[in-house]
């Protein structure tokens, strides 16, 4: 695909720290040579993928460089085969950063981090309307992950049979530790690695199922927040009386596990 120098610079805006004016763009980015074929604007083209094939690839890739690499790489790898550029130019190694909740921090599950990135890549844009759709799909993936007994992907030749848990969270720390409690395995065990490899399979497959549905205009959110959490948000989140908590996620794993909510 041919992209003009001007178009490329526009797309390179983020790398140039959002420099908008011509002069500033030139001073910050003028020295760099535009590639022959730059990255086209989002969303990038998406075609229907085989969700089971992607899941199997994610499981295998997990053993190479972890969850975030596996979920992004399995989907982008299939797109590279079917669509070619721009996916063939994507640096697969990049998403390794998100492994084990970002660099081992135990924050956002790397599989979900990758699912959100890929969703935005094929359904998002800096235009408001498209951001909304990509965010809606992303939230549905996150809620599915929190509410479903996972991992529900089983490889052709499992290394161990898996214990499934409903994590009620999108955080690596809570998800992994709940699983360790249920399985009586340690975080550094081979069983835990297999569990997360299967989880990468589950997340990659589910993401592809939703993106396939989105492709034909058939995506509908299927995992709303629990009624309890919705009631919390009515008093605490955006548009509420208190507006002191931004959280479109289950509140219960963190709040009032030992003490009740103050009397109102």
Nearer Cβ to ligand HEC, position 79 or 232?
A: 232
Nearer Cβ to ligand HEC, position 205 or 233?
A: 233
227 binds ligand HEC (CB under 6 A): no
Cis peptide before 43 (omega within 30 of 0): yes
Closest distance of CB 224 from ligand HEC, Å: 13
Closest distance of CB 125 from ligand HEC, Å: 28
Q: CB within 8 A of 219, min separation 6: which ones? A: 136, 137, 140, 210, 213
172 binds ligand HEC (CB under 6 A): no
Which listed residue (32, 89, 231, 243) binds ligand HEC by CB under 6 A?
A: 231
170 binds ligand HEC (CB under 6 A): no
Cα(216)–Cα(137) distance, integer angstroms: 14
Closest distance of CB 138 from ligand HEC, Å: 17
236 binds ligand HEC (CB under 6 A): yes
# residues near ligand HEC by CB under 6 A: 20
Contact 217, 133 (CB under 8 A): no
Closest distance of CB 239 from ligand HEC, Å: 13
Which listed residue (52, 126, 228, 243) binds ligand HEC by CB under 6 A?
A: 228
Nearer Cβ to ligand HEC, position 7 or 253?
A: 253
Cα(210)–Cα(115) distance, integer angstroms: 11
Cα(85)–Cα(46) distance, integer angstroms: 12
217 binds ligand HEC (CB under 6 A): no
Closest distance of CB 264 from ligand HEC, Å: 5
Which listed residue (244, 257, 258, 260) binds ligand HEC by CB under 6 A?
A: 244
What residue ranges bind ligand HEC (CB under 6 A)?
A: 171, 228-229, 231-236, 244-245, 247, 249, 251, 253-255, 261-262, 264
């Amino acid at each position: 695909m041919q992209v003009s120098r001007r178009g490329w610079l526009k797309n390179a805006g983020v790398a140039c720290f959002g420099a908008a004016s011509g002069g500033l763009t030139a001073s910050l980015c003028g020295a760099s040579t535009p590639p022959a074929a730059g990255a086209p604007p989002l969303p990038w083209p998406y075609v229907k993928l085989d969700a089971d094939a992607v899941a199997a690839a994610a499981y295998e890739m997990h053993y190479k460089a972890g969850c975030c690499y596996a979920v992004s790489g399995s989907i982008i790898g299939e797109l590279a085969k079917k669509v070619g550029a721009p996916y063939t130019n994507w640096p697969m190694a990049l998403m390794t950063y998100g492994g084990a909740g970002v660099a081992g921090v135990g924050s956002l599950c790397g599989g979900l981090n990758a699912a959100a990135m890929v969703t935005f890549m094929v359904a998002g844009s800096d235009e408001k309307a498209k951001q909304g759709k990509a965010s809606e799909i992303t939230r549905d993936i996150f809620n599915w992950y929190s509410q479903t007994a996972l991992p529900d992907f089983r490889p052709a030749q499992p290394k161990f049979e898996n214990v499934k848990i409903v994590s009620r969270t999108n955080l690596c720390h809570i998800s992994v530790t709940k699983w360790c409690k249920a399985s009586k395995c340690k975080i550094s065990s081979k069983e835990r690695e297999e569990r997360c490899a299967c989880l990468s399979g589950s997340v990659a497959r589910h993401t592809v199922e939703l993106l396939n549905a989105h492709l034909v205009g058939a995506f509908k959110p299927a995992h709303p927040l629990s009624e309890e959490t919705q009631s919390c948000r009515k008093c605490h989140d955006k548009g509420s009386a208190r507006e002191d908590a931004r959280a479109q996620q289950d509140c219960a794993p963190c709040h009032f596990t030992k003490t009740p909510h103050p009397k109102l």
